[in-house]
Structure 1
Amino acid sequence: MASTLDTPPLRPAPSPPSEPGADTGVWRRGRIVAAVALLAALLMLGHAHLPNRVGNLGSLIETFLPWTGLAVPLLLLCALVRRSATAAVAVLLPAVIWCSLFGGTLVDKQARGGDLTVVTHNVNEHNPHPARTARALAASGADVVALEELGGAATAEYVSTLARTYPYYSVQGTVGLWSRYPIADTRPVDISPWTRALRTTVHTRKGPVAVFVAHLMSVRFTSSGFTTDDRNAAARRLGAALRAETLPRIVLVGDFNGSLDDRALSAATSRLRSAQSAAGAGFGLTWPASFPVVRIDQILVRGINPRASWTLPATGSDHLPVAARLRL
């Protein structure tokens, strides 16, 4: 009987070695994530060109512009999940743009020194503890305290409580100012149908300073968009009053119901410096007090050098008080 040889099993021929760069999957994946990253970069870079004609879209985006930075870690996470090199590289663009816009804001720029400490606070007309709020503001050590949204019987409580520390004061409509130093030439500023702003001269040890206190009109979210017309008109009137001011040193404080990134407020803000931007640490968000997402309470100056800016602890209001130490 003839023997037979076992036939070895057939094996597939080995694949030729891949050439470098042949696997392009990491570059092909994640194109949608990359496109969203580019759109985020365009939004950050071109926000000033967004139209306000439809629902004041430009103002709405600019009010919350710093929060666009949240897109960066979210998009980077998506790029990692997709294992996409294309998306990861694309995310670098909005990251760099955001850092160029707001990176300097995160640096602590506070310094020692200063001749005048100013505090401003929207106390909320429904504040259940006006006297307690007034005592907290006086304890801050401020030389000048400005209040917005005064009204009703609470105004008398602010007056009587703050008078123990501040002998000079004036209340005009729903805004008021209390000072350790003499004040003069106090008058309302016409920005709305009822008095929501004042102008006074504070005679400090370093000379006179024009101080403006303003509470711009509230904004609303409606079915037609972000309604800001009344506020914007008030900002234009306030800007006209500031341009007419003859004293070289100006302090403007108050609740603007908008952030300084909002172009619609430029009539009142463009010729002044933000104490928070110049001498703060971080964004100094003020509203709502329970979880601040935007800085709408401002201290702005002209002819004055800000040395430090910060927020104070919450009171019975829905806004946080803000403070600044200034060198005259």
Structure 2
Amino acid sequence: MPRLRSDLGIVLLSVVIAAVVVLAQIPGVAGTIGAATLPWAGFLLVPLVLLALLRRSWSSLAAPVALVLWAVALAPVLPAVLSSPPDADGTPVTFASQNVEARSGTSAESARTLAGLDSDVIALTEMDASARAEAAEALATSHPYTYTAGTVGLWSVYPLSNTEGLTLGLSWKRALRADVAAPGGRVRVYVVHAASVRPGQQAGRDSMLSNLADLIDADDSPRLVAMGDFNAATTDPALKGVRRNLSEPRSTGLSFGFTWPARFPLVRIDHIFERGLTVLETRVAKAGSSDHRAVLATFDD
């Protein structure tokens, strides 16, 4: 009987992990839930592997299959613990992004914190008029080049050009596009505040991310960054279009870089995607009192 229970435990744990992997591939609500759950399913691998090693029966074959499925599905977000960052040949440029939680009164503190972390280009999302004004005042001296549209804003130590507010299919602006005159040449930047996801209500987010993907597909800029609050985990099917031409730098720490909720992050829904840039470092930082943590990526420019 104990052996039978061990076999059943191995099979059950393997099935649960495989089910989460499959769920994360399905567009819509299922994929959103599956993608958010996927990293945490890894905790089931510990008892699974222990049982498989102890049991060494036919059921143990399910353990490596589940492990491989999980690792392959999560490959885009596994931390880069075995690789070392390249040496900087040019000027390091740091991009930072944070949802500052409108009406939280935290935008100025977040802006100052990110500036203090040597962020050269700062994107803030979920801003109301008060948050925009407070952030602008906090960054007026350090980041004199700025553009805001709707709920999003961009501040930079380098000049901005070709600025444009974007609706991405909604009736109001929750995104923007601008060119940053970085030391190594122009970088096209998209800042996004995707629509929220609630039970039975995620069509707005999916539509925005699809429209963003179409814009990026048509954008021939060799150096491009898309950052902000995407309200989707990296492996969410809704982000497949964005990841078609962009990649998200792997965390250079030991964590998955979760950003929400800030007090005890469970999922990474804030991202910095790129193409044509050399990644030196990525990190997550607490800034202000927002319910989101900030994401930062340093590139060799």
Which bin holds the TM-score, normalised by the shorter protein? Answer: 0.7 to 0.9
> 1:218 aligned to 172, 196, 212, which one?
196
The separation in 2 between residues aligned to 1:155 and 1:51, in whole angstroms, is 34
> 1:244 aligned to 207, 218, 235, which one?
218
The separation in 2 between residues aligned to 1:136 and 1:95, in whole angstroms, is 39
Distance change >3 Å, CA 132–CA 29, structure 1 → 2: closer
- Sequence identity (%): 32
Q: Which moved more, 1:234-243 or 1:56-65?
A: 56-65
State the aligned residue count. 293
Distance change >3 Å, CA 29–CA 241, structure 1 → 2: closer
Distance change >3 Å, CA 324–CA 35, structure 1 → 2: same
Deviation at 1:281, TM superposition (A): 4.5
The separation in 2 between residues aligned to 1:241 and 1:37, in whole angstroms, is 41
Q: TM-score, normalised by structure 2?
A: 0.87
Deviations 1:162-220 (A, max 9, x none): 11101100111110000111111100122121110000011112111101100111001
Contact 1:273-1:301 within 8 A present in 2 as well: yes
Q: Where does 1:189-200 land on structure 2 (aligned, <5 Å)?
A: 189-191=166-168, 192-200=170-178
Distance change >3 Å, CA 49–CA 200, structure 1 → 2: closer
Distance change >3 Å, CA 171–CA 45, structure 1 → 2: closer
> Which amino acid in structure 2 is aligned with residue 271 of structure 1?
N
> 2:285 aligned to 305, 308, 312, which one?
312
Flag structure 2 segments of 5+ consecutive residues without an equivalent. none
Contact 2:228-2:271 within 8 A present in 1 as well: yes
The separation in 2 between residues aligned to 1:46 and 1:138, in whole angstroms, is 41
Contact 1:110-1:281 within 8 A present in 2 as well: no
Deviations 1:63-110 (A, max 9, x none): 221111122234467x49xx8554666444423443455478234345
The separation in 2 between residues aligned to 1:243 and 1:99, in whole angstroms, is 28
> Which amino acid in structure 1 is aligned with residue 67 of structure 2?
A
2:140 alignment partner in structure 1: 163
> Which amino acid in structure 2 is aligned with residue 160 of structure 1?
E
Deviations 1:7-39 (A, max 9, x none): xxxxxxxxxxxxxxxxxx664443321321331
Equivalent position SS for 1:63: helix
Q: Which moved more, 1:242-251 or 1:97-106?
A: 97-106
The separation in 2 between residues aligned to 1:294 and 1:322, in whole angstroms, is 13
Contact 1:110-1:308 within 8 A present in 2 as well: no
Distance change >3 Å, CA 159–CA 142, structure 1 → 2: same
Distance change >3 Å, CA 49–CA 95, structure 1 → 2: closer
Equivalent position SS for 2:78: helix
2:229 alignment partner in structure 1: 255
Contact 2:100-2:292 within 8 A present in 1 as well: yes
The separation in 2 between residues aligned to 1:50 and 1:189, in whole angstroms, is 28
Q: Which moved more, 1:243-252 or 1:160-169?
A: 243-252
1:73 alignment partner in structure 2: 46
Which of these two proteins has the greater Rg computed from alpha carbons? 1
Flag structure 1 segments of 5+ consecutive residues without an equivalent. 1-24
> 2:18 aligned to 38, 42, 66, which one?
42
Deviations 1:128-150 (A, max 9, x none): 33322221111011110011011
1:303 alignment partner in structure 2: 276
Equivalent position SS for 1:31: helix
2:261 alignment partner in structure 1: 288
* Runs (4+) off by over 6 Å: none
> Which amino acid in structure 1 is aligned with residue 207 of structure 2?
A
1:178 alignment partner in structure 2: 155
User: Would you say 1:268 and 2:242 are equivalent positions?
Assistant: yes
